[in-house]
Amino acid sequence: MRVYTEDDASPELVQSGPVAVIGYGSQGRAHALNLKNSGCDVVVGVREGGPGAKRAAEDGLEVASVAKATEGAKLIAMLTPDMTHEKIFNEEVLPNLKDGDALLFAHGFTVLYGRVNPPKNVDVIMVAPKGPGGLVRSEYERGRGVPCLFAVHQDASGKAKEKALAYTSLIGGATAGAIETTFREETETDLFGEQAVLCGGASELVIAGFETLVEAGYQPEIAYYECLHELKLIVDLFYEGGISRMHDFISETAKYGDFVSGPRVINAETKERMREVLTDIQNGKFARNWILENQAGKPHYQQMLQADLDHPIEKTGAELRERMSWLKPGANTK
């Protein structure tokens, strides 16, 4: 594996022409501000009169409609949610693409699954920071960066990879190291991680643990602390130094319980279910279902979301967190 750094980047490839950042959410804001601070001519393409337009203007950025922003841009970064790409691209971006332009995504979903079909005369690249937009911005401001993945889907100019590395460098990602991937690998592994481990897996594990304790007669508040609240402590150790760091900081009793009981909960059957999740991602079933769900107005999505919000763990947690002063806005800034 090669890790690319600042020494591998040629920032002038992106600095030489206007950059249009489409969308001003978490990633859009971070990318736009970092690019501007790195010497790029940035224009933010957003819905006129929307909250993104207002915030971008307050941040001192040039703001325009998506169509206007893309007219003169040499690189266009599509940083709106995946399910908005098709309409925005077809109606406001595609008519303004010119030979040698670069179209950039932070996730490969819409290109991999054919929701966006760029013409053959433009570069199609991806730069995916491995962290939320707030962290991408704050690390850049500290002179550091968040690691990035980058990929080339289409190289019309002969310089697509170099443009992706330049963009990575300009938002701070090359400082922390960049790894080359493909649109397929990034998309499939990202979806799998979200579904099987980070979001779906973790939340279901927490809820199942909470329910097991409460159904056995234990107080929901105690169950909350043991199955959700303390999870952050373990995840922080994972994040800082992997499984070995966790072992360094937990008790001998906790370690023994880890060894003998972890495989009873997460076992061969669990891994087989994970393989099924991955298969649905690889063969496009998940993408098709998600696209159809959006086209139908997301009725099942809303039902499932509401079920999560109505779970007793949410009421218990909200009441307990009210007493956690360190979670209040501004509590850690004094």
Active site residues: 107
d(CA 238, CA 283): 31
d(CA 111, CA 77): 13
24 is in an annotated binding site: yes
Task: Return the structure tokens found at 77.
Answer: 């970064």
Task: Return the structure tokens found at 269.
Answer: 């059957």
15 is in an annotated binding site: no
194 is in an annotated binding site: yes
Which residue's entry shows tokens 């298969």?
279
330 is in an annotated binding site: no
Collect all residues with Cβ–Cβ distance below 8 Å to 325 and sequence separation of at least 6: 331
d(CA 222, CA 182): 45
252 is in an annotated binding site: no
Task: Return the structure tokens found at 2.
Answer: 């090669």
25 is in an annotated binding site: yes
Q: What is the CA radius of gyration of the chain?
A: 22
Burial 180-211 (b: 16+ CB within 10 A, else e): bbebeebbbebbbeebbeeeebeeebbbebbb
Q: In terms of Cα–Cα distance, which of 39, 3, 187, 35 is closest to 106?
A: 187
27 is in an annotated binding site: yes
d(CA 12, CA 263): 51
DSSP 39-68: T--EEEE--TTSHHHHHHHHTT-EEE-HHH
Instruction: Indicate the angle between helix axes 285-295 and 268-282, nearest 10 degrees.
Output: 70
188 is in an annotated binding site: no
26 is in an annotated binding site: yes
Question: What residues are designated binding site for NADP(+)?
Answer: 24-27, 47, 133
Annotated binding-site residues for substrate read: 251
Annotated binding-site positions for Mg(2+): 190, 194, 226, 230
Which parts are annotated binding residues? 24-27, 47, 133, 190, 194, 226, 230, 251
